[in-house]
Amino acid sequence: MAREATKATEPNNLTIDGQTVPFKAGQTIMDAALAARIYIPHLCHYPGLKPAGNCRLCVVEANGKSVAACITPAQPGQQVCSDTSELNAARLAITQMLFVEGNHICPSCEKSGNCRLQAMGYYLGMLEEHFHQFNPRREIDASHPTVLLDRDRCILCDLCVRASRDVDKKNVFAIAGRGIHARLIVNTASGKLGDSNIEADDLAANICPVGAILIRERSFDSPIGERIYDRLSISDTAMTEHVPDKGKDHD
């Protein structure tokens, strides 16, 4: 019995871009990489929340197969390639896709400088959007006194959905609609955020990587030029991210 328990926690190894990385049973490739301070680009993953695997930026080659690192179990002896020019080119294209499908207004966006989509663009050396703009019509929801929902900037990463459901225990958000019509909806009869019980301190109100969910009157607390990604790379901040501990006891 004791032996089995040791076996389960005994570290196995895989390699990422040639570097040997230990992992524990149950960890994904992403978990193992982050623990070893190796950055695999990602937007829809946030340590402490159940992974979703929708943004596809973290797709790596594991034993020659393209898989999303955040949802793929780590295996002993697995050979993972991540930081390759081919994969980074695809990540760039996927980031560009996220830019063109929504209405991203970086120069006038409150989130500019704190935005992970923008930071991903910096990290991958994105100089233009490449694809044509979709210019969708999406609804803004300004019905809540402290939290603003601007769907124009939503990248459908599902982080707020999971944060609200699994950590805040409020289940305020969901994604509805199919294909390009997918959109963030609010779990109230009216569909309005103002009728929900979301509060500005909730994880769901703060986890948005882009400027889709904004806390009112706080957007310019730190001036442009002194914001997170004015100083740091997304590859640095990713190493310190984890949902606050209050969520843990609900697990």
Partner 1 sequence: MLMLMMSRTPLHSANFDKQHLLHRLYALQHQNCHISTESVAQVAGEFNLPVSQVAAVVDFYSFFYREPVGRYHMLLSNCTSCGYRAGGIDVLEKLCQNLNVIPGITRADGQVSISETSCIGMCDHGASMLINGMPLVGLDEKKVTQIARLVSEQTPLSKWPRDWFRIGCPIQKRGLLLRDNSRSGDSLIKALTAGPQHTLEQIVHSGLRGRGGAGFSTGRKWQFCREAAGDAHYVVCNADEGEPGTFKDRVLLQCYADALFEGMAICAFVVGAKRGFLYLRGEYRYLLNHLQETLERGYKKNLLGRSILGHDGFDFDIEIVVGAGAYICGEESALIESLEGKPGIPRIRPPFPVTHGYLGQPTAANNVETFIAAAYIANDGSERFSAVGTERSTGSKILSISGDCRLPGVYEYPFGVSIQQVLDDCGGDNVQAVQIGGPAGALLARRDFHRQISFEDVSTGGSFLVFGEKHDLLSVNQNFAHFFAHESCGFCTPCRVGTQLLEGSLKKIVDGRAVAADIDEIEQLSKLVMRYSHCGLGHTAANHILDSLKHFPELFGKRTVQQAFSPQVDLEAALETARQITHRDDADAHLE
Residue whose CB is less far from partner 1, 36 or 97: 97
State both tokens at 79.
């050979």
Cα separation of 251 and 151, whole Å?
29
Residue 200 burial by Cβ neighbours in a 10 Å radius (0-12, 13-18, 19+): middle
Residue closer to partner 1 (CB basis): 101 or 110:
101
Of the pair 122, 131, the CB lying nearest partner 1 is at 131
Distances (CA, A) of 198 to 65, 145, 161, 214: 41, 10, 12, 12
Choose between 165 and 227: whose C-beta lies nearer to partner 1. 165
Task: Give the DSSP per-residue string, 147-198.
Answer: EEEEGGG-----HHHHIIIIISS---EEEESSGGG-EEEESSTT--GGGS--
Distance in angstroms (rounded) separating the CA atoms of residues 23 and 9: 9
Collect all residues with Cβ–Cβ distance below 8 Å to 201 and sequence separation of at least 6: none
Place of tokens 């703060």: 206
Tell me whether residue 54 or residue 114 sits nearer to partner 1 (CB atom). Answer: 54
Q: How far is the CB of 112 from partner 1 (least distance, A)?
A: 21
Chain contacts with partner 1 (rule: CB under 8 A): 51, 53-57, 59, 66, 68, 71, 73, 90, 93-94, 97-98, 100-101, 131-132, 134, 155-156, 171, 173-182, 185-191
Report the nearest approach of partner 1 to the CB of residue 227 (Å).
Answer: 25
Instruction: Mention every residue, 6+ apart, whose C-beta is less than 8 A from residue 65.
Output: none
CB of 135 vs partner 1, minimal distance in Å = 10
- Cα 162–chain centre separation: 11
Q: Are 28 and 72 in contact (CB under 8 A)?
A: yes
Nearer to partner 1, 64 or 225 (CB): 64
To the nearest whole angstrom, how small is the minimum distance from the Cβ of residue 106 to partner 1?
18
Could you tell me the smallest distance in angstroms from the CB atom of residue 188 to partner 1? Answer: 6
- The least CB distance from residue 219 to partner 1, in Å, is 26
